[in-house]
Amino acid sequence: MESADFVVVGSGIAGLTFALTVAGRGRVIVITKKDDAESATNMAQGGIAAVTRDPDSFEKHIEDTLTAGVGLCNREAVGIAVRSGPAAVERLMEWGTRFSRTESSDGSIAFDLGREGGHSDRRIVHASDMTGREIETALLRALGRHPNVEMWEDHVAIDLVVRDTPAGRACGGVRVLDVERDRVVTVAASVTVLATGGAGKVYLYTTNPDIASGDGVAMAYRAGVPIRNMEFIQFHPTCLYHPTVKSFLISEAVRGEGAVLRGLSGRRIMEGQHPREDLAPRDVVARAIDKTMKTTGDKHAYLDISHVDAARVRERFPNIVTRLAELGIDMTSEPIPVVPAAHYLCGGIEVDLECRTTLPGLYAVGETAHTGMHGANRLASNSLLEAVVFSRRAAGSAIAELDDRRAALGPAPDPAWHGNEAGSVPEGVLLDYNWDVVRRLMWDYVGIVRNERRLVLAGARMAGIAEEVDDLFSRYPVSGDLLELRNICLVGDLIIRSALERKESRGLHFMEDFPERDDEHFLSDTVVVRNA
C-alpha cells in the first residue's frame, strides 16, 4: 500500500494541470498506463480555442459553442470556460508552452490564430500543427521539477477504493496494476482524480491512442457514480486512410485554411450540405462523408488543399506535411485519402462545476468528465480549453476540502485487494478475439448513423461478451489487456443503452428511425447509474 494526499489517474493535459496546481499542498502521485507522454493531448494537432483579440468576443465564442451543442450545453459551464480562456492560455505559457506567433500589420507580434469548423472567427491558439505535443512536453517538464509529484508509469488502474465512513460512502484512493512487477498496489488518497481521457478504442477506427479504453467512466460507474450522455460520440471527419498507418489525424485546421472534401469522383461533398460547407460542425461533415461512402461504395474520401499556396501549407502544417511525405503523399499537390473515425467522448462522468462527482473524495476532469460544456457535439478545440479551465477549478476545490477529506476518511486502513494475482492470461486468444468482436460490433452497429434494430442487436451481443469477460476476470490473473477489455465492454454497453434511450436525432447521435430533433421529449441529458 502507498498513500498520498492526491492521486491522479491519467497524464494528459487535464491530469497534469490538476497535479501542477495542487502540488504545493501535499504528495501527488500521477498514475499513467504507458509512458508519461502517451495521451490524447500529445496527439492533438489543432489548438486551444480562446478569444484573444478583436473583433472576436466572448459572446461569439459562447454562441458558437451553444450552436454546436444543439441545445444540451450547460450554459454556465460554457460561460465559465470561454471567459477563462485567455487566463488558461496565459497559464500554459507560464508553464513553458510556446504558441505560434505572427507579425501583425502594425508590426506587433500576436498569436497566429487558426480557424476550425463551427467557429465564426479565428480564435484557435496553436503551436504549429503540434499543439498537444508542445503542451504535454511543457507540463511534464514543469511537473518534473516539483519535489512533491511522483509519476508512476506502466501502472493500470483497476478500480476505485470505496470506503464506508460515518458520513457515508467515500472514495479513498485507487487500486492499480504495476505491470512491470506483476503486482496489485492500493494507493490510499484523500482526493482521487480521474483524468483518463476518452474511449475511442471501443471502436474499430479511432484517432485516439491505444490507452483510450474508457477506464475512468467504467470505474466510476462500477462505484455507483452517474454517467451522462454516452450516446454522443464525436467522429472526426478526417482520419488518414492508409493500409499501414492507424490513428493519424488530419487536423480540422487544414479545412480552416481552405481544404475541401471530395468524393473519389472529384465532386465536392459539402457543397449545398450546410451554410459553412467544409467548415460545418463535425457531426454534419462526418455524416456527409459517411453517406457519400455508403452511396458510392468508396472506401474513403479525399481532403484537398492542393489549391492553396504550397509555402503556406508547409509553414502551417509541418508535422502533417512531413508525415504524409514519408508515406508518399504530397498534400501540397495531391488530395489526402481520409475516413471518419471515433474521436471524442462528449458524455462521461457526472460532475459539478468544480468537477466533484457524487462520490465524496472523487473528482473527474478532462474528456472522461461530463461538465456539460459540449452538449450534443463538441466545438473544435474546446477540449483543451475545458481541460485547463475545469482542472484548475477542480484543484481549487480539492485544496479547499483536503483537510475535511483527511478527517472524513480517518486513519483506518483501506480494504485489501481480494482479487486474483497479477499475471498473464493463459489463453490470450480469448482476449484478442473479444477485443476484435467488441470494436467491430460498435463500429458496424453503433457508429455514425444508427437505428433501433441495430442497437437492440448490439446490446444483446454485448451482454453475451460481457458475461464471458466477467468470467475471465473472475478466474484469470489480472493483466492490462484483460482490464481494458473489461472496460471497453462496459463502456460499449453504456453507449448502447444511452443511444436506445434517445429516440431522436441530435448532434452526434443520428437515428434513421427518428431523424428529427425532438425538444419536447429529449431536451435533457441521458443518465445511467449503477446501484453500488
Q: What CATH number is attached to the domain comprising 336?
A: 3.90.700.10
Q: What is the pLDDT of residue 492?
A: 98
531 vs 318 pLDDT, higher one? 318
Among residues 321, 342, 363, the one where a domain terminates is 342
427 vs 66 pLDDT, higher one? 66
Residue 303 within a domain = yes
**Residues 244-265 pLDDT 10s:** 887 788 988 899 899 999 999 9
For the segment 150-158, the average pLDDT, to the nearest whole number, is 95
Q: Where are the alpha helices (DSSP H) in 281-427?
A: 282-296, 310-316, 318-326, 382-400, 402-409
For the segment 48-67, the average pLDDT, to the nearest whole number, is 95
Q: What is the pLDDT of residue 522?
A: 97
CB atoms within 10 A of CB 350: 23
CB atoms within 10 A of CB 163: 21
Percent of the chain with pLDDT strictly greater than 70: 97
Q: What is the pLDDT of residue 410?
A: 82
Q: What is the pLDDT of residue 283?
A: 84
Residue 256 within a domain = yes
Q: What is the pLDDT of residue 154?
A: 93
Task: Give CA–CA dist 307/333, Å, rounded.
Answer: 8
pLDDT over threshold 60, residue 153:
yes
Residue 458 within a domain = yes
Q: Which residues constitute the domain of residue 513?
A: 428-527
CB atoms within 10 A of CB 16: 32
Q: Does residue 360 have a cis bond before it (omega within 30 degrees)?
A: no
Residue 42 within a domain = no
424 falls in which pLDDT band (50, 70, 90)? confident
**Residues 512-525 pLDDT 10s:** 999 999 999 999 99
Among residues 342, 365, 396, the one where a domain terminates is 342
pLDDT over threshold 90, residue 465:
yes
Q: What is the pLDDT of residue 38?
A: 56
Q: Which of 115, 163, 175, 282 is catalytic?
A: 282
Q: What is the pLDDT of residue 413?
A: 66
Q: What is the pLDDT of residue 252?
A: 85
The one-letter amino acid code at 138 reads A
Q: What is the pLDDT of residue 128?
A: 84
| CATH number, residue 521 | 1.20.58.100
For the segment 131-154, the average pLDDT, to the nearest whole number, is 91
pLDDT over threshold 60, residue 42:
no
Residue 451 within a domain = yes
Residue 183 within a domain = no
**Residues 217-228 pLDDT 10s:** 999 999 999 999
pLDDT over threshold 60, residue 39:
no
pLDDT over threshold 60, residue 338:
yes
**Residues 289-302 pLDDT 10s:** 999 998 999 999 99
DSSP labels, 220-266: HHHTT--EE-TT-EEEEEEEE--SS--S-B--THHHHTT-EEE-TTS
pLDDT over threshold 90, residue 45:
no
**Orientation angle between helical segments 131-144 and 13-22, nearest 10 degrees:** 30
Q: Where are the alpha helices (DSSP H) in 327-381?
A: none
SS3 at position 341: strand
Residue 4 within a domain = no
Q: Judge whether 455 and 499 are in contact, CB under 8 Å.
A: yes
Q: What is the pLDDT of residue 423?
A: 84
Which class for 306: exposed (0-12), middle (13-18), buried (19 or more C-beta within 10 A)?
middle
Among residues 299, 325, 342, the one where a domain terminates is 342
pTM, rounded to two decimals: 0.91
- Annotation says 282 is catalytic: yes
For the segment 310-329, the average pLDDT, to the nearest whole number, is 94
**Residues 350-406 pLDDT 10s:** 999 999 999 999 999 999 999 999 999 999 899 999 999 999 999 999 999 999 999
pLDDT over threshold 70, residue 497:
yes
Q: How many domains does the chain have?
A: 2
For the segment 33-46, the average pLDDT, to the nearest whole number, is 64
CB atoms within 10 A of CB 493: 22
pLDDT over threshold 90, residue 511:
yes
Question: Starting at the edge strand that comes first in sequence, how are the strands of the sheet with 348-350 ordered?
Answer: 369-370, 348-350, 227-228, 527-528
pLDDT over threshold 80, residue 416:
no
Mean pLDDT of the chain: 92
Q: What is the pLDDT of residue 415?
A: 67
Q: Judge whether 374 and 73 are in contact, CB under 8 Å.
A: yes
Q: What is the pLDDT of residue 365?
A: 98
Q: What is the pLDDT of residue 115?
A: 86
Q: What is the pLDDT of residue 40?
A: 58
Q: What is the pLDDT of residue 296?
A: 93
pLDDT over threshold 60, residue 36:
no
Residue 460 within a domain = yes
